[in-house]
Amino acid sequence: MSDRLKKIFTEKLPKTKLVSYFVGCYPTPEISLELIKQAIDNGVSILEVGYVTSEASAEGPIIKAAHDYVLNKGHNLNDIIKLVKNIRDYNQDVGIVLMGYIANLYKYPISNFVDDIKVSGADAVLVVDAPHELKEENQLRDALNKNGLSLIKLAAPTTDDKRLKDIVNIASGFLYQVNVSGVTGVKSASETDVTNFVKRIRNLTNIPICTGFGIKSPEDAKKMSNSGCNGVIVGSAFVKYIQDNLNDKLLTQNVGKLIKSFTNVLE
Amino acid sequence: MSDRLKKIFTEKLPKTKLVSYFVGCYPTPEISLELIKQAIDNGVSILEVGYVTSEASAEGPIIKAAHDYVLNKGHNLNDIIKLVKNIRDYNQDVGIVLMGYIANLYKYPISNFVDDIKVSGADAVLVVDAPHELKEENQLRDALNKNGLSLIKLAAPTTDDKRLKDIVNIASGFLYQVNVSGVTGVKSASETDVTNFVKRIRNLTNIPICTGFGIKSPEDAKKMSNSGCNGVIVGSAFVKYIQDNLNDKLLTQNVGKLIKSFTNVLE
Amino acid sequence: MTKNSYKTGPDELGYFGSGESAMGGMAVGETLMPVLHELNQGFEEAIKDQSFLDEFDYHCKHYIGRPSPLYYAENLTKKLGGAKILFKREHLNHTLSHKVTNSLFQVLLAKRMKKRALICESGAGQHFSATAAVAAKFDMPLTGVMGDIDIARVNQNIIKAKHYGAELKSVPGTLKEAITEAIKTFSSNPDYAYICGSVVSSAPYPRIVQFAQSVIGREIREQSMEQEGRLPDMLIACCGGGSNLIGMIHEFLDEPEIIKIGVEAAETAALSNGTPGIMQGMKTYMLQTDDGSKSLGGSSLGAGIQYFSVGPQHSFLRDQGIVKYTSATDKEILEAYKLIASTEGICSALEPMAGAAELIKQAKNKPKDYLICLNLCGTGEKDLNTIQEHIGKDFE
Amino acid sequence: MTKNSYKTGPDELGYFGSGESAMGGMAVGETLMPVLHELNQGFEEAIKDQSFLDEFDYHCKHYIGRPSPLYYAENLTKKLGGAKILFKREHLNHTLSHKVTNSLFQVLLAKRMKKRALICESGAGQHFSATAAVAAKFDMPLTGVMGDIDIARVNQNIIKAKHYGAELKSVPGTLKEAITEAIKTFSSNPDYAYICGSVVSSAPYPRIVQFAQSVIGREIREQSMEQEGRLPDMLIACCGGGSNLIGMIHEFLDEPEIIKIGVEAAETAALSNGTPGIMQGMKTYMLQTDDGSKSLGGSSLGAGIQYFSVGPQHSFLRDQGIVKYTSATDKEILEAYKLIASTEGICSALEPMAGAAELIKQAKNKPKDYLICLNLCGTGEKDLNTIQEHIGKDFE
Ligand SMILES: Cc1ncc(COP(=O)(O)O)c(C=O)c1O
Ligand SMILES: Cc1ncc(COP(=O)(O)O)c(C=O)c1O
């Protein structure tokens, strides 16, 4: 369990943390770092830094396009770990979660991966396609635990109570509550659904809960923050803004402002 | 048995008769009559006047094109019987054989057909697709016999001796010896083959034998006349000449000359 | 044909029935007559030779994949709400139609008779590709004759036939013209075997093709008894030359309680709109001018049933009232195609959909225990372009 | 997987083998995990339910037309002058390939589990058209995902699927991209049933598809014993995901005296040229960059075997040395197509001709009493344009 993540969630304010997803090295390692610095400066509590794979199965069109962009430029997991190191050098408090797919970790391989990200200053890893049924998830979770890092687990609307129990039992850092079935950036969740889901989880555990998928605006974030969750996760909305304004000289500043508009509404 | 045909073959000269095939009413009833008059004037002994059907199965490309031409102009068997009448009015000695397929005769129907052609002055009928196995052949043969007309039978290279016996038994007028397997106007027969074939027939009967298919030039005709046959049949060669010179003002005269070049070599 | 059975014809000269109304016969040129007698004799001998029949059965099973299933079309049955509907799945045969059973039989016969090369005609190209496949298997050269209109619309079959090693001879027109040209080719090569694609032309072809295809009806009897515990009340098939139809009904010709319906293309419905005539080797009903000089008939989307004439046995059965003949329009054929594709997941050839159009009319008003069997004699791969062209937008 | 058999795997988490070298597993997002467990349970229950298995058998026989013949390819045998060659004629199934057996099984399972809509992916379009046919028959809506490159080259299958009522979702690419997109669609609609087209993806799909397809091998055992009095010495099949291969060999996995060969497309030969990795739901051999970020692989004419990865059971069997895996180039595939079309009169799909290319090499040097069986798992109708484009002139 990552101490840093623990600390973040024990801090009173903001009551609802903003967790923001960035595609690592998108559009370049340098700009990516600048964007993330803006995010930190504008109140993001936890960063999800995405690393890319060609067969990512949970990404909607927006994030997929960013992934393809990075893939085509040839940046790989090593570059992203370097990015994490740079982020950590810039800031000691923000939570950093590496997020992606098992494909890359398996080839890294896992043991080296955990060593390297520990050195880089990451706090946790989230592997979209590594349920606890997967051998490599077990290896990864073990290695992370041993190193004081977290494996972020997910709960989905399809997850039944029995399974949810298993998941919260092994969850660490926070629980990523996937609030709709589908890929990133497409469907939007209803406040009631999320509230009920958060309740369902809360009955089982005290672990922090962050809700994600389809939160597109500060208003969405505000609404979701009323659900009882501890954090809201915003991904596609930021990636889309970056995508649409790649050539804008004021890109990083404006992304800062955009993030500010989210953190402003989250007390 | 047609008396006129009998008489033609009892005449000493020419030793080898020229039997010439014309598509009736081709290219028009009037020109067709003029062409046939030329044929008569230039020594043809027997005329085959073809009537047309769309599914004629023994015609090569030359005669088929002439058939299609006449079909498209809408001339039918009645028009051709009229033509025969006109020919007979012009000449009392030439043999006239109506030649075609059973399709038209069956619909005429057969009994009326025999009555009508008798009146028109025809001597015989040759039906390409009416072997003696066909009921309608039997009816037609009966009716022709009763009216002193002939049904011309064919013998082909494929006809074996047993079958040949059956055919010569019912043959009347003359026997049409098909000297190659195939359609009109394509393959040429060898002199030896024809000579042997004529011998084979002569062993069984004294009926006059005319050999046909693929005789394209006076030289061909001359060669075939040495086979022991009583007549040579020329069809596609004349039809082709007509086809190639449809717009030539001297067409009928030139066809006369062409025919003369054949009769000249046949003593 | 014995007095008491409709199954034993034709007589030795190829006539179904007797006297003026007899149909069939041998209306071909002298060159082919000896060849056809030889073929008839070869056929008679072959079907008395058990080892030959066993060989045919063996290849039916292993090469063609017979028996074809007798399939309960449950969805269609429920949709129409009337009779219980069965499909005889002849489209599951190798080369995708019923035609191959006949090709196989005749090529085996040709081999037995020591023939060295083959000729065939084709309308939908099914008979061409089927014969080409069998010719490849038995290592004999084949020339197939087709009309240029058909060549364009069923191009897949021509490509396949070429891949099997066959040669294509193109003539202007459709099946009718192809048949005439094939007979000419045969006359020019009387030592070849002519593999006739339907129960048409001069004797002995109607009988040979009927013999080969009648395995369909025998299978139906066995399968229906096994699956349904009874025989169908009604048998329906499309009818071009009539081989899939006779193949289906021959077994049941002496069972008048079983209704039999043949469905022609409306544009070339020889049995509904034609008169007896003699063309292309046989006496039979056909569409022609009154004077017999010209064959007639429009164009149907079902290339294989666009034929101005029909096999002589059908003319005989029509006159005897043993089989009922109806017809289907292009529109009805396309509607039937759509219905069967969407309810049963079967992409049928257009020809058998003429039968299906009649089936739809018949099934609706029948009780649930009334059993109708349709001969589904070909798949739609060859017709997909035509279908898309006409009703493609209906599927978007 | 019990110690003594290669037929009983995978374990309850979808692994073939144990420890580090175990292949398979469940590498999918949380949204699908409960759904896949539910599917696995539904599957386990279904295969213990004799009436369900009987229903599957019934439709295999009546709808698909199983068993497919086991055919002695006599001409090819003689031409190659070595081993005796048999073809398992899976192309005679309804919808023209082996795929439909799996589609049927999974759609029946989906119905049993009260699913209301279906998703599938497809490479060659065979799985799409097969699933669409079955979906029409069982009246369930279907969305099929395909790559645009495949859509263009196997267009007939797409047209047929549309005629059956299915919807098409196009993505840039080929099978690989279609699978990823299908999983996304499934994640967005976890109440739908995803009908997976091969022994790939997360558990329980490899096992379910293997279960459905293994009827092929059981038929081969019965037919070979009946026809040949013995079992084949060698079994050969092409291998894309590996469903027709595992379907053929599963029955014989514990009989090491029977040689088994899987043949991949040379351009995407995961088992010959790949390394273990985890993508698209499973751990298996695959072509990918060293860092695991990108799937790799060129393009093969055989759309259905152009897949950078392979079913996990094959990776396991490869590591265990139970099955031998080779590959075939486009040129070899086309040569094999030509040979089989011209000697046997069979127009095969290009995919199984990868198997045929290996067969040709193997058969030549074997004694005459050596028995080789090739899984001829699809027909060439869908590939005719491709074939014409590449070697059309060879047939003129
Ligand atoms: C699929 C199919 N059905 C039917 C026919 C019609 O022929 P017949 O009436 O001889 O069965 C054909 C002929 O080509 C065909 O291809
Ligand atoms: C005809 C055919 N053969 C083979 C394959 C390869 O699939 P698998 O390896 O799963 O049998 C396909 C897949 O589309 C196919 O269509």
Amino acid B185: pLDDT: 86
Q: Which residue puts its alpha carbon closest to atom 14 of ligand 1?
A: C304
* Mean pLDDT within C104-108: 98
Chain centroid offset of residue C335 CA: 22
Interface check D235 vs A, CB under 8 A: no
Per-residue CA distances from C201 to A81, B139, C49 (Å): 82, 21, 25
Task: Please state the length of chain A.
Answer: 267
Q: Which residues 6+ apart lie within 8 Å of A208 measured at CB?
A: A5, A9, A17, A173, A174, A175, A230, A231
C307: nearest Cα among C129, C175, C184, C214: C175
Show the low-confidence residues of chain A (pLDDT under 70): none
Q: What token pair was written down for C208?
A: 């040979």
C205-213 vs C99-112: helix crossing angle, rounded to 10: 120
DSSP readout, C249-290? Answer: HGGGTT-TTSEEEEEEEGGG-HHHH-EEEEETEEEEEE-B-T
> Is the distance from CB of B241 to CB of B255 less than 8 angstroms?
yes
Residue A1 pLDDT = 79
- Among the partner-chain residues C94, C136, C338, the one whose CB lies closest to the CB of D343 is C136
Ligand with smallest separation from the Cα of C311: 1
* Contact assessment for residue B175 and residue B153, using Cβ atoms and an 8 Å cutoff: yes
Q: Which helix (H) or strand (E) holds C344?
A: helix C330-344
Name the average pLDDT for chain B. Answer: 96
- With an 8 Å Cβ cutoff, is B211 touching chain C? no
Q: How many CB atoms lie within 10 A of CB D57?
A: 12
Rounded to 5 degrees, what angle do the CA atoms A224, A230, A233 make? 60
Concatenate the DSSP letters of all residues of A26-72 into one string.
Answer: SS-HHHHHHHHHHHHHTT-SEEEEE---TT-SS--HHHHHHHHHHHH
What stretch of H or E contains C142?
A: strand C142-147
Q: Identify the three-state secondary structure at position D133.
A: helix
Distance between alpha carbon C301 and the CA centroid of its chain, in Å? 16
Q: What are the distances in angstroms from CA C262 to CA C237, C242, C318?
A: 5, 8, 10
Q: How far apart are CA B237 and CA C138, in angstroms?
A: 41
Res D34: pLDDT: 98
Amino acid D1: pLDDT: 45
pTM above 0.80, yes or no: yes
- CB of C395 within 8 Å of a chain D CB? The answer is yes
Instruction: Give me chain C's average pLDDT, please.
Output: 97
Q: Which of B11, B30, B34, B48 is catalytic?
A: B48
Other beta carbons within 10 angstroms of residue C118's beta carbon come to 26
Residue-range domains of chain A with CATH? 3-258 (3.20.20.70)
Give D162's contacts in chain C (Cβ within 8 Å).
395-396
C4: pLDDT strictly greater than 90: no
Nearest residue to B128 via CA among B104, B94, B160, B107: B104
For A174, list phi and psi in degrees, rounded to 5.
Answer: -160, 165
Helices B110-120, B77-90: crossing angle, 10 deg rounding = 20
Contact C180, C151 (CB under 8 A): no
Below-70 pLDDT ranges, chain D: 1-3
- Chain centroid offset of residue B159 CA: 19
**Omega prior to D67 cis, within 30 of 0:** yes
Q: Which residues of C touch B108 (CB under 8 A)?
A: 291-292
pLDDT band at C1 (very low <50, low <70, confident <90, very high): very low
Instruction: Tell me whether D394 touches chain C (CB under 8 Å).
Output: no
CA of C243 to the centre of ligand 1 (A): 7
Q: Kindly give the number of the ligand 2 atom that is closest to the alpha carbon of D97.
A: 1
Q: At what angle do helices D99-112 and D205-213 cross, to 10 degrees?
A: 120
Sign of CA dihedral D307, D313, D315, D321: negative
Three-state DSSP class for residue C296: coil
User: In terms of CA atoms, which chain D residue is nearest residue C382?
Assistant: D381
Q: How confident is the model at residue C321 (pLDDT cuts 50, 70, 90)?
A: very high
Tell me which amino acid residue B221 is. Answer: A
Q: Which residues line ligand 2 (CB under 6 A)?
A: D 97, 99, 123-124, 126-127, 198, 238-245, 304-305, 349, 351-352, 377-378
Q: Which residues line ligand 1 (CB under 6 A)?
A: C 97, 99, 123-124, 126-127, 198, 238-245, 304-305, 349, 351-352, 377-378
Let me know: does B79 contact B108? Beta carbons within 8 Å.
no
CA distances from D285 to B170, B192, D238, D271 (A): 84, 76, 16, 6
What mean pLDDT comes out for the span C40-48? Answer: 98
Ligand nearest to the CA of D147: 2
pLDDT at D3: 59
Q: H/E element holding D361?
A: helix D350-364
Contact partners, residue D230, CB within 8 Å, separation at least 6: D224, D371
Among D55, D62, D86, D158, which would you mutate to test the C interface (most chain C Cβ atoms within 10 Å of its Cβ)? D62
Question: pLDDT per residue over C261-302, tens digit each?
Answer: 999 999 999 999 999 999 999 999 999 999 999 999 899 999
DSSP class of A125:
E
Distance of CA B188 to the CA centre of its chain: 17
Find out whether D105 and D93 touch, Cβ atoms under 8 Å.
no
- Identify which of D124, D127, D140 has the alpha carbon closest to the alpha carbon of residue D93: D127
Task: Tell whether the model's pLDDT for residue C31 goes beyond 90.
Answer: yes
d(CA C291, CA C115): 39
* Contact of D261 with D323, CB cutoff 8 Å: yes
Instruction: Give the residue from C265, C261, C384 showing the smallest Cα distance to C332.
Output: C265
**pLDDT recorded at residue A185:** 86
Nearest CA to C382 out of C127, C212, C30, C210 is that of C127
3-state helix, strand, coil split of chain C in percent (to 5) is 50, 20, 30
Whether residue B48 lies in the annotated active site:
yes
Measuring CA to CA, how many Å separate D197 from each of A13, A129, A163, D133? 51, 21, 28, 14
Query: How deeply is A91 buried, as exposed, middle or buried, from its count of CB atoms within 10 A (0-12, 13-18, 19+)?
Result: middle
Give the Cα separation of A148 and A144 in Å (integer): 6
pLDDT at B240: 97
Give me the interface pTM, i.e. the ipTM.
Answer: 0.95
CA-to-CA distance for D296 and B153, rounded, in angstroms? 77
**Contact predicate B176/C29, CB 8 Å:** no
Query: Which 3-state string (H, E, C) describes chain B?
Result: CCHHHHHHHHCCCCCCEEEEEEECCCCCHHHHHHHHHHHHHCCCCEEEEECCCCCCCCCCHHHHHHHHHHHHHCCCHHHHHHHHHHHHHHCCCCEEEEEECHHHHHHCCHHHHHHHHHHHCCCEEEECCCCCCCHHHHHHHHHHHHCCCEECEEECCCCCHHHHHHHHHHCCCCEEEECCCCCCCCCCCCHHHHHHHHHHHHCCCCCCEEEECCCCCHHHHHHHHCCCCCEEEECHHHHHHHHHCCCCCCHHHHHHHHHHHHHHHCC
Candidate from C28, C290, C293 with C-beta closest to B53:
C293
Helix crossing, D330-344 with D350-364: angle to 10°?
A: 80
The separation between the first and the last C-alpha atoms of chain A, rounded to the nearest angstrom, is 26
Cα separation, B46 vs B150, whole angstroms: 13
B154·C29 Cβ contact <8 A? yes
Q: What span, in angstroms and rounded, lies between the C-alpha atoms of D6 and D382? A: 35
Of A39, D342, D117, the C-alpha closest to C141 is D342
Q: Residue B160: its chain C contacts at CB < 8 A?
A: 34
pLDDT of res. D52? 98
Burial of D204 from C-beta contacts in 10 A (0-12 / 13-18 / 19+):
buried
**Phi and psi based region of residue B88 (left: phi greater than 0; alpha: psi -120 to 50; beta: remaining):** alpha
Q: Is A137 a catalytic residue?
A: no
Question: What is Dmax (Cα atoms) for chain A?
Answer: 51
